[in-house]
Structure formats: C-alpha cells, structure tokens
Structure 1
Amino acid sequence: MMRFTLIPAILAFGLAACLPSPKSERNAPRLEKLPTEIFKTSTPRAVSPNPQPTSLPVFDVGWPPPFTYGNPPTPPTPIPPPSAPLAIDPAIINIALLGSDRRPSWTGFNTDVIIILSVYPALGEVALLSIPRDLYVYLPGYSMQRINTAFSIGERVNYPGGGPALFADTVRYNFGIPIHHYAKVEMDGFSRIVDTIGGVDVNVTCSYRDWRLRGPALDPQVEQNWQLYTVPTGIRRMDGDLALWYARSRKLSSDFDRGRRQQEVLRALYREILSLELIPRIPQLYGDLKDAFTTDLSLSDLLSLAPLAARIDTADVRSRFIGRDEVTSWRIPGSGAQVLVPKPERIAALVADTFDFDALDDLVPELALTVEIVNSSAQPQWGALAAERLEYAGFATHVGSNSPSPGTRTHLIDYGLAQDGSAEAILQSFDLPASRLTRESDANSPFAFRLVVGDDYDPCFDPTRDQLG
C-alpha cells in the first residue's frame, strides 16, 4: 500500500504550484448568462462611464470596508456578505500553497495555482482544496476581484500584513476558512526538481492532446515551433519539460481539467519521492530549494510534522475542487473579462465536506478496509489506473497481478467486512450499475472488496464533478 508523506507532499505541491502557463494559451469557453440568484443582494449592473461608490452591506467588526486600501474601480456586482467562520478543530493546520506566474522581467504577478492543504495531526488525515484562479470574490478593504490577484494587490496597496494577509483574509471572508501558513512558489523550480529525481511516472487516466513546443528552447511566438502532442492513457514516464507541459497546458481544455492533471502529476511526485527514500534528505532539499519559494514555514515547522509520515495513507487524503458545479462563468460588463462567480450554497457544502475529518475505526484491521484490484483486461496498466480512481474516492487499494480474461466485464465483490454504503460508493465511482455487485460473505478475507477490471473499463474520470454524491 502506497504511503503519503507530508513533508515531501508540501514540497511537491509547492514545486508543482509554480508551473508556468504557456505564453500563447488563451482559454475562452462558452459562457452562461449570469443567473440573478448568484448574488444575494441584487443583480449585476452595467459599468458606468463615471462610476460612483454605491450602497454596500454592513460589515462585521474587523472587516475593512471597500475602498479602504488602494483606488479600485466600483465593482459591477454587489459585494457579498462574509461567510460564517468554519467550525474546525483548533489542532487543524491550514497551509495556502500558491503558484506565482511572476517572470524575471515582470513587476506584478498573479497566484494562478491556489491549493489549501489542511492537516489534522490527531487523526493523521489530510485534505486538499483547489480553488480556480478566476473565482470572482471580495478582497477585504479593496473591491471585487479575481482571487488570484489578492496576494499581489495586498503587496501593492500596503494592506496590513501585505500579500499573505490579504490572501488569508480573502479566503476567510469568502469561505470561512482560516489560513495559518502559506508557501508561494515562483515559476522556476518544477522542471528542475523533476529532472533531479530522474523523472516521474504519471498515471494518465484520460488521454490528453494539446499544442506543445517542439523543443523547450524554441521561440513560442513562431507558429512553426508548435505541434499537436498527445499523451495516451496509461502510466507515462515524464521528464521535467513534459511534466510541466502536461500539468499546465490548457489551450484545448480548461482550468478545471488542468487541475485534474495537476493532481495526477502531484501524486506521481509523491510516489517518486517515497520510492527514492528522500525523507532523510529533507533538510538538504529545503536548503537547495529555498530560493524557489517564500514561506512563513521554517524547516523546523516542517520537520515537526514528520511523525505523521508513517500514519498518513493516500486513502486518507481528501481531494476536493471548486469546479464547474460550484461556479457560473460570466464576463464582466465593459471589460469583457471572464470570471467565475461562486454559487455560495454549493461552495459552502463543498467546504464543509472538505474539512469534515472523520476518525478511522481503529478496531478494524487496515487491510480489511482495502479494495483488492484484479486486472482481467487486456490493458496491463488499467489496474493501477483503477487504484488511482479509488484513492480519489477515499479507498485504500491493493493492486494484484494481471490475469487477462477476454470478455470479462468490470464488477465488484463485497466480502461483508465494510460499513454499509461503501460498496455503493465504489459502484458510483466507477459508474457501475447495482447488477455488477456480488456479495460473498467471508470473515477471513484480507480485503473488504475485490474489484475486477474488465475490457469494458474506461479509466477516464473527472474528480471535479459530483463531488458530494
């Protein structure tokens, strides 16, 4: 069973967060008309040629009102009220992992990758919440803006505490999530670390095709330097340049799909770091990489979490995304800029689910909670891809040997050792009907379930949709 180690996870997430977006990419998906119910106070209004401050909601004590810092334009939408603080255990540690698009010649930057890493040491569990860069939210004391601008605006307008404070306050105001630490990574570093460890094996669950430079040193402004490149489904060995492209390309896809691919690359980094036994080298790696990121976490802070390493399994890592189900696409009147407007009730439910840490039943042996995967398909790598899918759903896995059996259809065997609803959750994860479930009570089985992968299995799935069942 693959182990997830917190220290390299934080470093890997930080490095992966710096993935630069190709210069030529422009993503323009079809936009929906903005429903009036998205905003709680009134409908959006057109931008006036001579905007004037408008009536604003009463702000809770401690929240600075709009226009306190800087000179922002009047927002084209009402400013939503603050979210209720999330009720979480004080022992939980929330770390904002931010990827900056800053180039050496730029003075400004955006944090285009935003992941909230939440660690619950008492239970040995971890949650990850990915936030899309174009989410249109209130920046306390400023105005409505994309969330990826919060850090840089905080620096520019001299917000108390600077960029880290405005970003943390933005997350707390709009989602009720407290942020305790942050790590911001610049663009360089990702390819370097992947190449340093010799590359990564990425579980590519969905074949991906997009425009790619024929060589990393070529001029991206020359059209002939580009080619359509396909990464087929399966376990693919990637060097730093390919991993960088795969995790950041979005010309023919979207930010939501890019988030899925980033998760695949991050899991590949976890596996590679663990297989190379790099944990004892954490102090050296921290020193070698400290010029690639800024953080308020010290080396001692990271090392203090090391005892969790042997306790956290990939099945204990809850991955969540603010995805298509939680937002509405919209263009800002006047500028035409594309943003994502939050659906407050959907996001509140997702956030509550993300931080709902449940204690594991220590009375049940660990292996009895595992899903054994038997690959009976003609595709030798589909067992590993099925395991990836189950781990997203929160199940521990054991991938057995391949045993091809032509004509086998994907099905599930329940040995009667797991709690009610677990079998149905597995079926739902694989879009299988109830007729594909067989119950065979076996108190001596080392596994709770056996998933038999047949030739009808489609490994492609979207973890950003239907996350709440």
Structure 2
Amino acid sequence: MTTQTNIKPKQTYPISNGGVRFLSTLFSILFLLSGVYIGYLFYGAVKEAVASVDVPSLPYIDLTLPSLNDQSGPTVGVVPRRGGEIPVTGITGVPLPDYEQKERVNILLLGIDKRPDEQYARTDTMILVTVDPQNKTAGMLSIPRDLYVEIPGYYESRINTAYYLGEKDGYPGGGPALAMKTIQYHFGVPVHFYVEVDFDGFRKIVDTLGGIDVDVPQTIDDPTYPDQNYGYDPFHIEAGHHHLDGETALKYARTRHAPGSDFGRAARQQQVLMAIKDKALQLGILPKVPELWTTMAGTVKTDLQLVDILELADLADEITSDKVETVVLGEDYTVNYTTEQGAMVLLPLREKIQPVIDRMFAKVEPAGPSQAEIIAAQAAAAAREAELQAQEQQRAELKAQLAAEGAKVVIQNGTDREGLDAETALFLKEQGFDITQFGPADMRGYSRTVIVDYSGKEYTLGTLVNFFHVAPENIRRSPNLQSDVDIRVIIGADFELPDTSPQSSVVLQ
C-alpha cells in the first residue's frame, strides 16, 4: 500500500510537483487534514471519528471551532496540548517531540498483510517518515520487509516479523510498538508515532478519493499476483498515465513482478503515497472529508493525536518539493543472504546505511526558548520585580522608624582591614542611620563585634545587633554615662560587609 517510480534504490528521489505539501509522508490521514483543514469540516469529521482512535490520554485545553452541522455559532471542542512543561512519552518510551522547540518528528507507516483466516499479520510495507519543522524538510525511508535483523527480546528474523510477534505475544503496545522498537534498535533514531493501515483500508481510501493518477514508467505483467485465498489474481498494466481505483492501486503498489523487484516495489509505494496526497489536496475533495475521515477511522490505526495532526498539517504549505527526500534501502544498502533454515533474506550494510540515517534524521537544533520557558521567564521576572518593590517598601519603613527614633551612631574599626569603618558607615548611612562619626577603635584586636548602648533606643539597637550578628554577651549597656552618641559599634574580625552594589538585595531587618 505504497508506491514508486522507475528509480535506482541508492539514489535520493526528488518529489515531483505534487510534493509541494510534504504530508504525503503521513499517508492519507495527514494529507486529508492538511489539505482540507477548513474549520467546520475538520471539526465535524473529528467528532465522528475520534472515538475509534485509541490514543493515550493527555492534558487538554478548550478550543472553539465551528460545528459541521450547526451553522448558527461555534461549539467547544478539545485539542490536546503537549510539550513545554508537560513531557509525554510514546508507546516505546521515547519522549515525544516538543513542537514549540521544533523538534524532529519520526513516524512509522505500516502496511498490514492479513489474510481472512489469519489471526496475526505481518507488515507488508514499512516506511519511516521524518519531519524537520525547524528547517522545513521531510523524508521517507523505505525499509525492505526481508531485512534480516535481531528483534529486541527475541531472535534474528525478517524485520516484518516484529509486528507479528508483538501482536501474537501481547507485547506492550502490540505489533506497532515492537516494530518501532526494532527500528529504533537498529537505526538509532527515535520513532515517535505509527500509522497502520490494512489492504482493505487502503482500497477504501483510494476509492473514496475517486481514484488516483499515476505515471507507470514500465509495463508490468504479474500472472501470479496473490489473492486473499492463497490463489492468484493476475495483474497487468501498460506503461503510461493511468487513473487507478483502489484495487488497481493496491496491486500496482504490491506487485513484485516488475523491474527492481522488492526495491522497485518500495519506490512505487512512495509514488502511490504522493498520488494519494495530490488527490487529497484538490479543492474538489472538500465535500468528501467526513466520509474520508470515517473511512480512515475504521481502517487506520494510529497513536497520532489531534495535537500532532494539527501541528504537522500546519507545516503542509511550508515544506517545498525540493525539501522532501525519499530513499529506498535497496541493493546498494543490503546484500543477499541465505539462513541456515534456507530462507532468502537481506543483510543490512550498516556502513552504507548509517550516512543516510545521519543525513535524514540529523538532530534539530533548538529553535529557542519554548512558550513554556518564555512564560516561566516572565513569571520569574514579575516575581523579581515584586521582590524588589517589597524591599524598597522595607527600606522606606526602616528609614522612617530610624528617623523617628533619631539615634546617633558611631562606627569604629577594631580590625586590621583598612577602610572598613568608612565603608560600613557609608552603607549604614544609605540605609537611613544617622552616622555621626567613624574611625579606628582603641585597638585592632577585636575578634568579635561589640555594640555599646548609651541611651536605650531599642529599634536602632536591635537593627544593628541583627545586622552585625552580635552575641548578647557583646552588647554593653552604659545608660548612666553622659555621651553625645547613642550607640557605638566596634567592628570585629567576625564581620563581613555585605554587597554594597546598587543591585544589592540586602535589606536590614
């Protein structure tokens, strides 16, 4: 259920004119939404289908959108929001992308080959899609189903076995999760989401669109194309331009009796995806949106949520055709191998695959602070401003009470630190103290600061005791001594003058 043109696998394939909106990579779901996201049609379709899509719960915010059936006014819907302060992980445990930071998004497209009598299926198609919102680029990497790799937690097998084992053994997240985990393990990139569709769903989507237009580069004749009952349903198509219905499009995408075998088949699948996207984005498709969405809801499984669909659809017009890269891991990236059991498989040539991975899935540099970080910074700035205002208020109250009490203060330096008396006197004067004198003490050997109280002016005294951290035994009271000053402070070696810069937040208590 995917497609190609006549291209050699080792090349990167530029997208034709239809690639103007890259969401071809996200299959019909995002093609449709990106092309027809026009208010009421989208919301009405979502309301019909959302109950059929099994997705994890997320925080929600209200969003008002027009209703499909009610033209009198808006209705209130819900759209999940993720990112910033709300980290969320996907079904394989990887952190999901933060769209505010424009982080890369990787999505695994799975085409399921399931016969009517089969309980568990294997993947017939695996395409890893990547979207770079920061640089406005996208890519599709087709992974051959016969690639022979280790399935995490199991054994070596074809990569399409991962889905089967995940479904059969009840792996957490099912077949999609184990398929995603396998790709993460071997390619070293996080897989955030999956989109899964079976053959019947593929046919229905193409038919609901009214068919697709495809240029067939070479005649294909496949007398042994398989039907759903282990028999044959011969397929033949001439080279040239064709309008294909769902059944024919599926055969064109799946047949192996064509140039390039499995690798050519993978490229044809990419071609069909592009054709679906082109048709879905045509203006005349708007009236079919509810029917298309309902069709997909019954045949497409995904863990993409509305927030992801909306974010990715919003990129539709921003990624141009020359920014979409498609690669098939074909004969230049693999080598034929026969297992001990006689199975013919493909071994990955990792030294050739790795440069492709490094290029297509390069880490996206952060775009700058996220909305959550901006809000947090604004809140911190507002809190700091409130703190500064409170400090100013405290300083004003301190000066008022000191002035009311009118205590005269002398500062003396009892340490070896030159100028400490002058610096301290200046600082205290700025705080509102009436400093009448400053200078050296009778000696420089004071290990502790001493305060001498002559007049019992308790507010000023208490403030200085707290500021200099003077122990009770070092507070001397001489109420009967006649003096021109009220309080004498002899600075000891235990005192450190606080920051006296203009931005200092020191407030005397």
The TM-score normalised by the length of structure 1 is: 0.54
What letter matches 1:345 in structure 2? E
Offset at residue 8 of structure 1 (A): 5.8
Could you tell me which residue of structure 2 aligns to residue 103 of structure 1?
Answer: 115
Q: How does 1:359-374 map to 2 (within 5 A)?
A: none
Alpha-carbon distance, 1:357 to partner: 8.4
Measure the CA separation in 2 of the matches of 1:281 and 1:302: 19
Q: In the aligned structure 1, how far is the partner of 2:267 from the partner of 2:164?
A: 26
Listed one character per residue, the Cα deviations across residues 185-241 of structure 1 (whole Å, up to 9, x for unaligned) are: 122122222222222110223333332779x99x8737xx74x72421x32222222
| Number of the residue aligned with 1:129 | 141
C-alpha distance 2-245 of structure 1, shift in aligned 2 (>3 A): closer
1:32-431 → structure 2 map (5 Å cutoff): 91-211=103-223, 221=231, 226=234, 229-232=236-239, 234-251=240-257, 253=259, 254-278=261-285, 285-333=292-340, 335-356=341-362
**Number of the residue aligned with 1:450:** none
* Alpha-carbon contact 1:14-1:184 (below 8 Å) kept: no
**In the TM superposition, what is the alpha-carbon distance from 1:280 to its structure 2 partner?**
8.4
- SS of the residue 1:98 aligns to: strand
Q: Distance in 2 between matches of 1:9 and 1:205?
A: 22
**CA deviations over 1:52-97 (Å, ceiling 9, x no partner):** xxxxxxxxxxxxxxxxxxxxxxxxxxxxxxxxxxxxx970000010
**CA deviation after TM superposition for structure 1 residue 159, in Å:** 3.3
> What secondary structure is seen at the aligned counterpart in 1 of 2:292?
helix
Answer whether contact 1:140 1:173 (CA < 8 A) is retained: yes
Counterpart-to-counterpart distance in 2, 1:356 and 1:182: 20
Structure 1 residues 121 and 159: CA distance shift in structure 2, 3 A: same
Corresponding letter in the other structure for 1:320: V
Secondary structure in 1 aligned to 2:110? strand
Equivalent AA in structure 1 for residue 21 of structure 2: T
> Match of 2:456?
none
Do the aligned partners of residues 133 and 307 (structure 1) sit closer, same or farther apart at CA in structure 2, a change above 3 Å counting?
same
Q: Is the 8 A contact 1:327 1:342 kept in 2?
A: yes
1:274 offset after TM fit, Å? 1.9
* Aligned residue number for residue 82 of structure 2: none
SS at match of 1:183: strand
Matching residue within 11, 31, 40 for 2:27: 11
State the Cα deviation string for residues 235-258 of structure 1 (Å, max 9, x = none): 222222222211111135511111
TM-score by length of 2: 0.50
Cα distance in 2 for residues equivalent to 1:279 and 1:145: 44
Cα distance, 1:94–1:105 mapped onto 2, change above 3 Å: same
Report the 3-state secondary structure (helix = DSSP H, G, I; strand = E; otherwise coil) of the residue aligned with 1:312: coil
CA distance in 2, matches of 1:7, 1:319: 13
Query: Per-residue deviation at 1:153?
Result: 0.8
When the two chains are superposed, the root-mean-square deviation of aligned CA atoms in Å is: 3.1
Query: Aligned to 1:325, what secondary structure does the other structure show?
Result: coil
Deviation of 1:141 after TM superposition, in Å, equals 1.2
Which 10-residue stretch deviates more, 124-133 or 290-299? 290-299
Preserved contact between residue 253 and residue 269 of structure 2 (Cα < 8 Å): yes
Q: Deviations over 1:260-305 (max 9, x none)?
A: 2212222222222222454786565333311102111124421232
Q: Partners in 2 of 1:307 and 1:168 — Cα distance? A: 25
Structure 1 pair 348/291, CA: closer, same or farther in 2 (3 Å)? Answer: same
Shift of 1:259: 1.1
Structure 1 residue 345: deviation in Å? 0.4
Asked whether the equivalents of residues 19 and 324 of structure 2 are also in contact (C-alpha less than 8 Å), the reply is: no
> Which amino acid counterpart does residue 320 of structure 2 have in structure 1?
D
Change (3 A) 1:108 1:172: same
Q: Does the CA-based 8 Å contact 2:147-2:158 persist in structure 1?
A: yes
**What SS does the corresponding residue of 1:172 show, helix, strand or coil?**
helix
- Shift of the 121–281 alpha-carbon distance from structure 1 to 2, 3 Å rule, reads farther
Which letter maps to 1:245? K
Q: How many residues were matched structurally?
A: 279
Q: Which range moves more in the overlay, 168-177 or 273-282?
A: 273-282
AA paired with 1:275?
Q
Letter in 1 for 2:335: T
Moved more, 124-133 or 279-288: 279-288
Identity %: 38
SS in 2 for 1:118: strand
Deviations 1:120-145 (A, max 9, x none): 11222111000000101111111111
1:255 and 1:326, CA in 2 relative to 1: closer, same or farther beyond 3 A?
A: same
SS at match of 2:200: coil
Which protein is bigger by CA-based radius of gyration? Answer: 2
Closer/same/farther in 2, CA of residues 5 and 285 from structure 1, 3 Å limit: farther
Contact 1:14–1:98 (Cα < 8 Å) also in 2 = no
Q: Distance in 2 between matches of 1:220 and 1:105?
A: 10
Alpha-carbon distance between aligned partners in 1 of 2:102 and 2:316, rounded to the nearest angstrom: 21
For 1:353-375, what per-residue CA distance to the aligned partner results, in whole angstroms no more than 9, with x for missing partners?
Answer: 3224899xxxxxxxxxxxxxxxx
**Letter of the aligned partner of 1:119 in structure 2?**
V
Paired with 1:263 and 1:11, the residues of 2 have a C-alpha distance of 10
Amino acid at match of 2:266: G
| Cα drift, residue 154 of structure 1 | 2.0
Runs of 5+ unmatched residues, structure 2: 1-16, 32-100, 366-509
- Give the match's secondary structure for 2:332: helix
